[in-house]
Amino acid sequence: MQYHAHALQVEGADLSVAQKYIEMDETYFSLKQIKILKFAVKTCFEPNRITDMEFNELRKLGLSDSDFVEVIETATAALSIARLTEALDLEADEWYGGIEFDSKKGRIII
C-alpha cells in the first residue's frame, strides 16, 4: 500500500482517497464497492471461508464470473507481491520518499 500511496501522490492524487480505501469508508464508497473490497480482502486472508451466499450477494449486485476472477486475481497478486517484498526485506527506491504505512492502525503516515 505504501508504494501505491506514493505513486498516487506522484500522480497528483489526494492521499485521503487511498486512506478511504484502507478504511473502507462507507460514506465514500457505494454498498457494491464496499462488498467487493471486503470480498477481495477475504480472498486473501480467509479464502476457505467464502460462502455461496457471498458469491450470490455479489452476483445480485451485478458481478459476473469474469468479475470474480478479476477481483480475486488482483487481490491475491497484490498480496503475493507484498509478501515477497516483505520476505526479501526489499528496500524502497530512493524516489519513494517519506510515506509509511502503520499496519497496526491501518493508516498511511506522511
Residue 43: is its pLDDT beyond 60?
A: yes
| Residue 110 pLDDT level (bands cut at 50, 70, 90) | very low
CATH assignment of the domain containing 61:
1.20.1290.10
Quote helix, strand, coil % in the chain, to nearest 5: 65, 5, 30
Number of compact structural domains in the chain: 1
Mean pLDDT of 54-72: 97
Q: Which domain holds residue 33?
A: 2-109
